[in-house]
């Protein structure tokens, strides 16, 4: 790879990415473009502008964008159509944000004539893979720089020395090491590392960033009604809202009631296990409600196929293959299934749990006439069941007869 001349950096404004910014300038002597995205992580973005300017970035090279609506509409919602859970439990909050950032990095590179992009993910994690696979899938000629895999700033001490030597301001609370590492966006907050590294020890309460401890949540349950159209949430308690507004509102509700905490040891794509504490308040409620509306609007053939495809779909997103033909194939199948997934679900929130308690829809496939214990007026002929069972049993009978014959 020849040296880059102009690099678009995913820049948070924090210490680490500021060091990367400076390192790119000094190591490669290249022009740096910064991209700072509001994904709903709950931080002010404007300080990042000032910091970038301070570090010598030209105003026209500073990109600060609110991408929350795009994030929820084009990434989070399509993923929730699939009821995606990685390893049975993880709602993929970090994974799903990476392709969007890469997409914007590559687009800004095209706009600004940059030949490279850079990110601040380490060489041990999944995020490097997600950033880079997305970037390469969108521009096969792009260079990707991952300073954490390249440089020799391998200890906290050396990082701080580099920062000081390069006049990078260091916030007081960044002098010492954080007790764990945090990533956040509108869908979730993850915490990992350091005090959390032993999966046999409970995570301390102070790890929680956005969800009230269930024990401190309100003593009174709260109901929330979520309305779906074609598989996507479109209203809360009857009020139509934008995708990002919906997720924001569900985060408030779920967070207030202690919903969405997950303590997980997961398998990273790069081969080792890691332990994380995930907080996904709104997403947890949304998944429950989406399952609820599918229960009455989705046929069993479609639903069972979806369930069987889901683990692979979730794995693709986790591994960084959002922009891959196979994810797009699965998405086409999943989206096809959602055409009639419209209606409303009532979810009960209480001290850590979110449970569907009612759901209704004009599209409902539920037929009281067929299922009723009462007289069904001929909707269903119970005698049909005899034939159904006989033919389903036929191969089992032939097997049993064969096996008996062979033993006898």
Q: Which residue's CB is nearer to a copy of itself, number 59 or number 88?
A: 88
Residue 278 is labelled as binding a ligand: yes
Q: Does residue 171 belong to the site contacting a copy of itself (CB under 8 A)?
A: no
Residue 130 is labelled as binding a ligand: yes
Q: Does residue 83 belong to the site contacting a copy of itself (CB under 8 A)?
A: yes
Helix (H) / strand (E) containing 350: strand 343-350
Cβ at position 342, least distance to a copy of itself in Å: 9
Query: Do 175 and 162 form a contact (C-beta atoms < 8 A)?
Result: no
Q: Does residue 3 belong to the site contacting a copy of itself (CB under 8 A)?
A: no
- Residue 181 a catalytic site member: yes
Site for a copy of itself (CB under 8 A): how many residues? 132
Cβ at position 283, least distance to a copy of itself in Å: 15
DSSP state, 96? G
Q: Which stretch binds a copy of itself (CB under 8 A): 6-14, 107-115, 163-171, 371-379?
A: 371-379
Give the pairing of strands 116-118 and 353-360.
unpaired
Region of residue 193 (phi > 0: left; psi between -120 and 50: alpha; otherwise: beta): left
**Interaction pattern, residues 221-250, with a copy of itself; x per rule: CB under 8 A:** x-----------------------------
Of the residues 97, 129, 317, 341, which one makes contact with a copy of itself according to CB under 8 A: 129
Of the residues 154, 176, 238, 408, which one makes contact with a copy of itself according to CB under 8 A: 154
Q: Does residue 402 belong to the site contacting a copy of itself (CB under 8 A)?
A: yes
Given the residues 49, 68, 81, 98, the one annotated as active site: 98
Q: Does residue 182 belong to the site contacting a copy of itself (CB under 8 A)?
A: no
Cβ at position 406, least distance to a copy of itself in Å: 6
Token pair for 188: 């979730």
Spatial distance between the Cα atoms of 63 and 61, rounded to a whole number of angstroms: 6
- Residue 127 a catalytic site member: yes
Q: Which residue's CB is nearer to a copy of itself, number 155 or number 167?
A: 155
Of the residues 66, 111, 239, 381, which one makes contact with a copy of itself according to CB under 8 A: 381
Q: Does residue 363 belong to the site contacting a copy of itself (CB under 8 A)?
A: yes
In this structure, the number of other CB atoms found within 10 A of the CB of residue 206 comes to 10
Q: Which stretch binds a copy of itself (CB under 8 A): 37-45, 158-166, 237-245, 362-370?
A: 362-370
Map the footprint of a copy of itself across residues 103-122, applying CB under 8 A.
122
Give the burial string for 373-392 (b: 16+ CB within 10 Å, else e).
Answer: eeeeeeeeeeeeeeeeeeee
Q: Which residue's CB is nearer to a copy of itself, number 170 or number 310?
A: 310
Burial level of 219, CB count in 10 A (0-12/13-18/19+)?
exposed
**Interaction pattern, residues 279-318, with a copy of itself; x per rule: CB under 8 A:** ------------x---xx--xxxxxxxxxx-xxx--x---
122 alpha-carbon distance from chain centroid:
19
- Residue 300 a catalytic site member: no
Q: What is the DSSP string of 312-347?
A: HHHHHHHHT-TTSHHHHHHHHHHHHHTTT--EEEEE
Please, which contacts does 323-330 make with residues 24 or more away whose CB atoms are closer than 8 Å? 323/99, 323/103, 323/133, 323/134, 323/137, 323/138, 324/133, 324/137, 330/82
Q: What is the DSSP string of 190-237?
A: EEESGGG--TTSPPPGGG-SSS--GGGS-SS-EEEEEEEETTEEEEET
Residue 127 is labelled as binding a ligand: yes
Spatial distance between the Cα atoms of 209 and 154, rounded to a whole number of angstroms: 28
Q: Does residue 209 belong to the site contacting a copy of itself (CB under 8 A)?
A: no
Residue 17 is labelled as binding a ligand: yes
Spatial distance between the Cα atoms of 208 and 212, rounded to a whole number of angstroms: 8
Annotated binding-site residue numbers for ATP: 10-18, 37, 120
Would you list which residues are annotated within the binding site?
10-18, 37, 90, 95, 120, 122, 126-127, 130, 181, 190, 266, 278
Known catalytic residues? 16, 98, 127, 181
């Amino acid at each position: 790879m020849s040296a880059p001349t102009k690099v678009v950096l995913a820049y948070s404004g924090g210490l680490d990415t500021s060091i990367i910014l400076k390192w790119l300038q000094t190591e490669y002597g290249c022009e740096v473009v910064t991209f700072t995205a509001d994904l709903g992580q709950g931080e002010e973005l404007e300080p990042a502008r000032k910091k970038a300017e301070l570090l010598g970035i030209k105003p026209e090279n500073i990109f600060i964008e609110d991408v929350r609506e795009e994030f929820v509409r084009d990434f989070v919602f399509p993923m929730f159509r699939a009821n995606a859970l990685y390893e049975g439990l993880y709602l993929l909050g970090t994974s799903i944000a990476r392709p969007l950032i890469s997409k914007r990095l590559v687009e800004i590179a095209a706009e600004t004539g940059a030949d490279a992009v850079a990110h601040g993910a380490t060489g041990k994690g999944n995020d490097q893979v997600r950033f880079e696979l997305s970037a390469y899938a969108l521009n096969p000629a792009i260079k990707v720089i991952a300073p954490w895999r390249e440089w020799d700033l391998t200890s906290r001490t050396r990082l701080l020395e580099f920062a000081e030597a390069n006049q990078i301001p260091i916030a007081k609370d960044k002098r010492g090491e954080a007790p764990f590492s945090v990533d956040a966006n509108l869908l979730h907050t993850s915490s990992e590392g350091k005090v959390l590294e032993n999966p046999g020890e409970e995570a301390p309460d102070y790890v929680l960033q956005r969800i009230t401890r269930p024990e401190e949540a309100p003593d009174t349950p709260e109901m929330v009604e979520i309305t779906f159209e074609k598989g996507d949430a479109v209203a809360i308690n009857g009020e139509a809202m934008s995708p990002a507004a919906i997720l924001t509102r569900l985060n408030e509700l779920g967070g207030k009631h202690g919903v969405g905490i997950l303590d997980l040891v997961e398998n990273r794509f790069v081969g080792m296990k890691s332990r994380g504490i995930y907080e996904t308040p709104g997403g947890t409620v949304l998944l429950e409600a989406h399952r609820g509306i599918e229960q009455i609007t989705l046929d069993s053939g479609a639903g069972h196929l979806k369930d069987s495809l889901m683990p692979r779909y979730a794995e693709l997103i986790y591994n960084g293959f959002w922009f891959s033909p196979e994810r797009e194939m699965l998405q086409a199948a999943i989206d096809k299934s959602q055409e009639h997934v419209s209606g409303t679900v009532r979810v009960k929130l209480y001290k850590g749990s979110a449970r569907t308690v009612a759901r209704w829809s004009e599209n409902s496939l539920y037929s009281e006439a067929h299922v009723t214990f009462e007289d069904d007026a001929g909707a269903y002929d119970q005698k049909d069941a005899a034939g159904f069972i006989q033919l389903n049993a036929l191969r089992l009978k032939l097997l049993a007869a064969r096996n008996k014959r062979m033993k006898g």
